[in-house]
Each structure stands twice: as C-alpha cells, then as structure tokens.
Structure 1
Amino acid sequence: MNVLPASAPVAPPEAAHICAVLPALVGQKWHPLEGGRVNRVWRVGALVVKQHRPAAASPLFPNDATIEYAMLEALRGTGLAPTPVAGGADWLAYRFAVGQTWQSGAAGVGALLARLHATPAPQLSLRRTASGSVALLAELRQWPRLRNLPPLPEVAVTEPAPARLLHGDPVAGNILVRGGNALLIDWQCPALGDPVDDVALFLSPGMQHLYRGYPLSTAEVAAFREGYADAGVLARYDRLAPLLHWRIAAHCALQAGQDHPGYALAFDLECQAFLGKRHDLPSR
C-alpha cells in the first residue's frame, strides 16, 4: 500500500474531522496510496492517514478503526506494526514506514508470522475465532449458501488449539519489506485464535492472486513452512486446510457477487487448489 500515484490533491472534504485533530495536516499534499481494497489511505508528509469504511466489513474480515489503533499502540516498539500517532472513530494516523509491498521471500513471512504468534496477546477486547474442526464447521454452516459454492469438505476431528494473537489479514498487500526486515500493516481485524487462520490467508492462492498477481509456487510454500517452523501449527493447518480454504473461497464468492474485480478468479484458484475441482462463478 506504499505506491504513490502522480496526483497529490489537498485534504479531501471527508477528512475535515481528521484535520481538526491533526491541524498539521492542513495545507499538505494528500497522496492516495494504492493497494487497499476496502479503506481509503493517504500519505501526508511523514504520516499515513487511513479512513475506514465500516460497511465494507465481511464475515472473514472485520473493519474496526478503534481496534486497529489500539493494536498499533499495544505493538509499539515490537517491529511488528507501524508507530501510531492519533486515531478516531473511523480513522487513524501512523508513521509512514519505508518499504515495498511483499513480493518474494516467503521464508521471511513465515518467520514474521511465527514471531507474531509467539507475542503475548495485549489486554484488549479482541474477537475470538473458531478453533478446532467442530467449531470451525459450525461457523461455516452459518455462512450464506452461495450459488456454485462447493459443499463443505469433510476433515478429521481436530481439537481446539490454545488461542494466540492473530493479525487476521496477513495477505501480501499488508506486509511491508525493507532489506531483511518486514512488518504488518492494516490491523483492522486482529483476533485471538488458532494461528492456522493466518497461515491459510497467506498461503491462499486467491489472496495471493488479488494482492501479488499470482499464487505461491510449490517452492515458496515450502520456504514459508521452513521459516514458520512450528511443526504443531503446520500439522494442524494441513488437517484443517480444506475448511480454512473453503472459507476463503466463500469470501471470494461473496465479493465477486458484488462485482469486485479479481475475486471470481480468486474463487476459482482457491477451489482448484484445495477443493479438488474448478468452480467458475456464473457470469453476470
């Protein structure tokens, strides 16, 4: 999300309440940052200003500005997240982090997520994700039954796992890399739960297509697993992968049904990789 277009307008009208809190932003150029699919984001001098659109939340990805700012505060100094400056009910501002959106080096992302999942959870009221096959199946049965969505796959019974801190949306577009260091941005849907949720989202062919342009190779998946290195989490991910990726496919189907670009192919990629066959969404 650190790509500057050529244009650099002044503060948009909808950001007036943000400028009232941070008057230093008035008169500066507001450069829209590309890459996000949900919220509006600008670079303004040394800051990134992000304005949330709560209505854009989905069952898989909540969109909460307040919890995002609280998470940035809780992770201050860890190197896992940007440094927060100020925030409000529908916005936040943080220090611009120099770096490029992740494109390669899957082992480093594995190590980054392993470090996050080993970080003690902050004393915040975070949502809890379904853990174990029984709870996960119960959740997925509540999702809308969309046309052309494959039936829920069968998996072996997997017990719940101890809850750990999750990013909730660790796709390629939310990982910034500079040299050998990486950090996670877009903390609007953190959670306490099983790390397999984060693992599935990064490995997802559909999410990689949406944010990088193409899925991970077999070698990249292997490198990620080597970098992550927690054999217990990876074994649990392998058992639950059909359900975890069914959920991602269902999310892509929901977005494709609202004509969001790229999601129909993302849906098909997810189904091909984890559900055993092609599933083209009907054209509209």
Structure 2
Amino acid sequence: MKEQLSDSSLLGFLETQLPEADWDNARLRPLPVAYTCRFWRLDVPGRSYVIKEFFPEAEDNPLFPTLPRQEADALAVLSRHQLSPELEAFAVSPAGTPVLVYGYPSPEHNEIDVSEAAALIGRFAALKEPGQGHQTVPAGYHEVLSRGDAMLAAIPQSRKAANLKRLRPQDNAVEQKPVERSLVHRSFCLGTILATGEGARLIDWQFAGLGDPVEDIVGFVSPGLATLYGLHPLVAHAEDMFLQAYPVQQTVQRFLEERVGYHWCFAAYCLFRHETLMTSNAPAARAYGRALEEEVDLMLRLRAR
C-alpha cells in the first residue's frame, strides 16, 4: 500500500460512512491481520462493526482469489436471510484501498457449537436466491483434482510436490456426474462464524463462488483450514456431530464419497502457497506448510480406514 491507513484516519472515515450519533463512546481497536486484509472492530453502545481493509493484488490466486466486491454483494443478499451480518459500507479508504464494513447487534456471548454451525450452513445451502457476479469455482471430485494438478504443475521443482502426487486419489474412484452449482462459502469453519445478538452469522465471503455445497462441509472438517484460521482441528466426535446435524444427508453422503479429492486439492493449494511465498512472506509460507501437514495426515488416516 502506498499509504498506511491509521486508526485516526479510519475513525474519521467511518464517521462519514456509518449512521452512529454517539461517537464519543465509540471504541476502535485493531484485530489480528490476515493474509489478504486488515481488520478493526468498532464498538458503540449496543452495536458492533467489523472493518476490513483489503490488501491490493490479492485477486491473483489459483484457488482462492480475494474479491472484495463479491463479498459486498454476498452480504447485501444474505443479511436479508439472517445468514450474514448487515453490509454497512463498501467504499475506498483514505489510503486508496477497498474497505468493507459490516455491523450487528452486540452479542452476550461468543460460543458457537457444531450443531449450530451445521444448521447455519445447511440453511445457506438451501437458499435459492442467487448472488450477483460470483465466480465459478471447481466443483465435484474430478474438477477439484484437476485444479490440484494444475497447481502442482506450477511448482515443478518442488520435491514435496512429487510426494503429494503419490497421494493423489484415482479419477475412477468416483463416478463422474454433473454438479448442480449453487453459492458456496469456501472457507467455512468456526473461524468464519460470528456470534451476534441475533444469532450466528457467516462472515468472510471474499472467496465465495458457484460450486458444490460439499466443499463447505469439507472446509468445516478440514484440519488445514482450521490451522490457517488459528484454530484447533475438530476432534472426531465434533466432526460426527456436525455431519449428523447437517440438514441434507444426501449432501453428507456425497461428501463421504468425494472428500478425499477436496482434501487433496486443498493440500496442493497449501503446498503451492508454501513454495511461492517463501521469499516474499516467510511467516505465511510456514503457516501454509503446517496446514499442508495437517491435510496430508488426514488423508493418510482416511486411506487407512
């Protein structure tokens, strides 16, 4: 970024964007920085806001491009169905970067259990209202394997890539079928569920796309994704509870048949990021390396069953 967005300039900017009258009692504090954006939380009496400043050039990604406008479009639709917080603002910051603000009634507690998470993503999967302008993403066992192949082909000198290729599931292990695409979240985990005063809501829609709801089940049980969000992977009992509580058991059955393809593709993505970020962002590269190890360990456990 050409200019660092300071807390004071951000607060002045928010005063022009939000319909709050009691700015004297407003409290702005930074939250942990993610790989593609910075976060703040703004608290005023009875209401909370999260502010996301998107870093530039994060759109160029082989599996998870960061698309700020897409997140704004998703929030505008999904908040009407009590699936996401309300979109409060989407504008250009004083530093020239995209800034998105969502708001919600302040919660009394922040606990989310796996059954509540399953019900929330199940309601989202059943939603028929389409979002505007969403990308088309790999969907189904065979498409995700092909995307994983492409990412490994982009790092031909990687010795770890050669090892990961040996774990690649066989194409003929799952019958190829057409996929009925719908909007999927794609980074669904306990780290992307927000407790609000009106119940649980889904956040982080910048990676969403038209795909298969199976991917959101995979995300929730993925130990690699949990690791990237700074969470502990789900224990087996919690995974079982989530799958039992998911409203459409036909989707769960397809997940059980196809999950290894999605896990392998995500492992390929983690390896691609690990290799390509080594010189530009070593901490992020190490985080993706840990996520890769988690996904590989899971695939080995699944293979041993």
TM-score (norm 1): 0.81
Task: Decide which of 169, 178, 192 is 1:153's aligned counterpart.
Answer: 169
In structure 2, the gaps of 5 or more residues are: 1-5, 93-97
- After TM superposition, the structure 1 = structure 2 runs for residues 160-179 of structure 1, keeping only pairs within 5 Å, are 160-177=178-195
- After TM superposition, the structure 1 = structure 2 runs for residues 15-34 of structure 1, keeping only pairs within 5 Å, are 15=10, 18=13, 22=17, 30-34=28-32
Task: Decide which of 32, 36, 39 is 1:38's aligned counterpart.
Answer: 36
Alignment-derived partner of residue 63 in structure 2: 60
SS in 1 for 2:81: coil
Q: Verify: 1:49 aligned to 2:51, yes or no.
A: yes
Identity, in percent, stands at 25
SS in 2 for 1:30: strand
Shift of 1:176: 1.4
Query: Partner letter of residue 75 of structure 1?
Result: L
How far apart in 2 are the matches of 1:121 and 1:62? 23
Shift of 1:102: 7.3
Q: Is the 8 A contact 1:241 1:274 kept in 2?
A: no
Task: Decide which of 140, 143, 151 is 1:143's aligned counterpart.
Answer: 151
Query: Partner letter of residue 17 of structure 2?
Result: L
Q: Verify: 1:72 aligned to 2:75, yes or no.
A: yes
Alignment-derived partner of residue 6 in structure 1: none
How far apart in 1 are the matches of 2:218 and 2:209? 15
- After TM superposition, the structure 1 = structure 2 runs for residues 61-140 of structure 1, keeping only pairs within 5 Å, are 61-88=64-91, 90-96=98-104, 98-99=106-107, 105-140=113-148
Q: Is the 8 A contact 1:163 1:193 kept in 2?
A: yes
In structure 1, the gaps of 5 or more residues are: 1-8, 278-284
Shift of 1:91: 1.6
Taking a change above 3 Å as real, the CA distance of residues 123 and 49 of structure 1, as seen in their structure-2 partners, is closer
Q: CA RMSD, aligned part only?
A: 3.0
Taking a change above 3 Å as real, the CA distance of residues 76 and 178 of structure 1, as seen in their structure-2 partners, is closer
TM-score (norm 2): 0.76
Report the number of matched residues: 267
Query: Partner letter of residue 132 of structure 2?
Result: L
Deviating 4+ runs (over 4 angstroms): 15-21, 23-29, 99-104
Q: Is the 8 A contact 1:176 1:184 kept in 2?
A: yes
Alignment-derived partner of residue 287 in structure 2: 262
Task: Decide which of 198, 207, 214 is 1:196's aligned counterpart.
Answer: 214
How far apart in 2 are the matches of 1:98 and 1:62? 30
How far apart in 2 are the matches of 1:101 and 1:262? 29
Shift of 1:203: 0.7
Taking a change above 3 Å as real, the CA distance of residues 237 and 169 of structure 1, as seen in their structure-2 partners, is same
Shift of 1:197: 1.0
SS in 1 for 2:7: coil
SS in 1 for 2:100: strand
Taking a change above 3 Å as real, the CA distance of residues 220 and 23 of structure 1, as seen in their structure-2 partners, is closer
Q: Verify: 1:271 aligned to 2:296, yes or no.
A: yes
How far apart in 2 are the matches of 1:198 and 1:79? 18
Higher-Rg structure is 2
Alignment-derived partner of residue 3 in structure 2: none
Alignment-derived partner of residue 241 in structure 2: 223
Taking a change above 3 Å as real, the CA distance of residues 123 and 111 of structure 1, as seen in their structure-2 partners, is closer
